[in-house]
Amino acid sequence: MTDTTHDTATERTDLLEALAHQRHFLRFTTRDLTDEQAGQRTTASELCLGGLIKHVTSVERNWASFILNGPSPSDDFSNMTEADFARRADEFRMLPGDTLAGVLAAYEEAARRTDEIVTSLPDLNADHPLPEAPWNKPGARWSARRVLLHIVAETAQHAGHADIIRESLDGAKSMG
């Protein structure tokens, strides 16, 4: 007979370790930078290192809330206003008053909260319907497990973006 309690604990540990690894690489790209450097665009993209971390922080917060509560009305992109889209765009840049230390602290808090939710969930199979959005299949549902895999993938993707931005900024590399 299989010990599913052990399997679930191992799965959670593995998923959280994979996420911690990607978070480390993302944060590592900002080592020894000033606030100004963290907000600097260094490629054709509008992305900057501080903005990427702000975005991943928002992603973690929103998906952690989804795990607990399902989609919120603000997740429905068909109801977003121009002001909503402008606020969303601000996630990708350092704004006046933003500091790298503050951005990293907010990210650490979001990460702590995500980890706390994942470790305390009774069942990683618990699911909710995805919000309506052009990129979501109508009627699709995601389990807590699927959401966590998405957070890992999103963090890894943006850690790669951050590595390119950092190398373009001053030649420093995070991965290799």
Q: Write the pLDDT tens digit of every residue in 76-92.
A: 677 778 887 778 888 88
Here the tokens at position 104 are 């990293």
- CA 148 – CA 153 distance, rounded (Å): 9
Q: Which residues of the chain have pLDDT under 50?
A: 1-2
pTM: 0.89
What's the sign of the alpha-carbon dihedral 91, 95, 97, 101?
Answer: positive
Cβ-based burial of 136 (10 A; exposed 0-12, middle 13-18, buried ≥19): middle
Confidence (pLDDT) at 1? 45
Confidence at residue 83, expressed as pLDDT on a 0 to 100 scale: 84
- Residue 51 in tokens: 């903005």
Structure tokens at 44: 């054709």
Write down the pLDDT at residue 9. Answer: 78
